[in-house]
Structure formats: C-alpha cells, structure tokens
Amino acid sequence: MNDGEAEPQPATTASVPRSRLGERARDLYQLFCEGEFLMTDARTAELSKLTENAYRDVNIAFANELSMISDGLDINVWELIELANHHPRVNILQPGPGVGGHCIAVDPWFIVATAPEQSSLIKTARDVNDSKPGFVLDKVVPQAKRINEVKVATLGLAFKPNIDDLRESPARQIVNRLADELPEATILAVEPNIDELPAELESRDNVTLTETETAIEQADIVLLLVDHNEFINLDASLLAQKIVHDTRGVWG
C-alpha cells in the first residue's frame, strides 16, 4: 500500500524472507498480490525496503538542492530541470518544500543510525530535505512582515497530492512555523481533503481552515505547498495582484 492511499495496490514485486515462514508468507501474499516474489533473508529484505526509500530521498534532495542553488542565481529551476532531463541518462525529480510521509522522511534514519560512518550521503540528503521548509519560510516571512495586517493563504497540508494524510508533512510544518513567526498575520490554511485542522493548528488564533477560492481572494500572499489537482486547475485570474510562491512549479 502506498502512503496515504485508502486501498492497497496489488504489488508487482515483493521481498519475502527466505525461510519456511517466508515460504508461508509468500503463499499468503500470492492470494491477493500479483507479480514476482523475491525470496531472501529477513535482514536483507528489511534493508531493501529502507534502501528504496533512502534512494528516493537522495534523489529528491538533489532536486531540492538545485532549487536553492537556482534561486540564488536567479534561474528558473523548473526550466533548468526540464532542459537537463532531455539528456537520455538524466531523470531529475521535481523539487518541493521538503519531504513528508512516514516512509521516505523516516526510513533513511534507520540506515544512518545503523551505519553512521558509511552513510554520509544518506544523512546529507536527509539534512537537505529537512532544511527546505526553512528555505521556504525565509522567502515568505520577510515579505509578510512588510504588509500591515497581512493575510497568507497556504495551499495544502498533506504530505503529497490528493490525499488527507498529514504525517511528517513539510507543508504542515511550514504553516505551524508561519503562525509562530507571524503572530499578527492571518493564516488562511487550505486543505480540501480534511474537514478540520490538526490540533496544533486548530488551537491557534491566527490560523483558519478556509476554502480555496475564499482564501486566495482574501490573501495578500499565496503559498502553494501541495500540488493537489484542485490547485493545479485554479483559474489563473484568481492569482492576479497576489504575491505568489509556488513551491511545486505547477503554475509556470
């Protein structure tokens, strides 16, 4: 099952420990999963799963680091990545405001804790991705402080598009920190997949769960944090005269 998805997806490949119990587990999974079952020992199977998520984290970190480099050089990172990806052996991922969920944002630390001297790249990737919310805040907060009674619309709280799962979400972290750093501001938090804010946001006087168009209409600053379909398909005219920060590159 993918993070945040309500229904499990049939696996195309599954790693199963190589033992009598592993064989029984394989027989069970064959009842509802498709594809190939790869038998190995328990330790290798576990490290294989951690490796999948660490690999993705490292690749996302490269994209996020490019976005920070490009910002300092006044280069459009989305165009940069599109051009670089024309090379047949290059496939750079898309940057964002950080990495969330209970797998990619967590699993690499198990490798680092187990082999700290040999996992410097994995740790650095984690540090890069964990730094990205702060980078976003450094762009938004100074602008907001220059506007009296500023209203900031934050679009998205989930850790990935079109789900209601907020675990380890960088968007959620950013909204919390915005509320801390801008106590006099009004934070119009938009998350179309939930009915109420998480407790730590609900308790804040300066954060309100708001519908998408209402938030944008009222806002001075619009901060896109999650590329939900609802946000991608917005009428561009709604963003006219707004200060816009698009951390997902969906509005060009």
Q: For residue 67, give the 3-state DSSP assignment.
A: helix
33 flagged as catalytic: no
pLDDT tier at 163, thresholds 50, 70, 90:
very high
Q: Which of 178, 199, 200 is nearest to 188 (CA)?
A: 178
Q: Per the residue annotation, which of 103, 132, 151, 160 is the catalytic one?
A: 103
Mean pLDDT within 137-149: 98
Position 76 confidence tier, pLDDT thresholds 50, 70, 90: very high
Using one digit for the tens of pLDDT, what is the confidence trace for 177-227? 999 999 999 999 999 999 999 999 999 999 999 999 999 999 999 999 999
> Side chain identity at 228, as an amino acid letter?
H
Q: Once rounded to an integer, what is the mean pLDDT over residues 152-172?
A: 98
DSSP β-ladder status, 186-190 and 221-224: unpaired
Q: How many residues does the chain have?
A: 252
Mean pLDDT in the chain? 94
For residues 222 and 216, is the Cβ–Cβ distance under 8 A?
yes
Q: What is the pLDDT of residue 10?
A: 57
Active-site annotation holder among 33, 49, 139, 151: 49
* Reported pTM: 0.89
Q: Count CB neighbours of 58 within 10 A.
A: 17
Strand locations in 130-211 (E)? 151-155, 186-190, 207-209
pLDDT, tens digit, 9 for 90 and up, residues 9-33:
555 556 655 667 788 888 898 899 8
**Catalytic residue status for 103:** yes
Could you give the domains of the chain? 1-40 (no CATH), 132-246 (3.40.50.720)
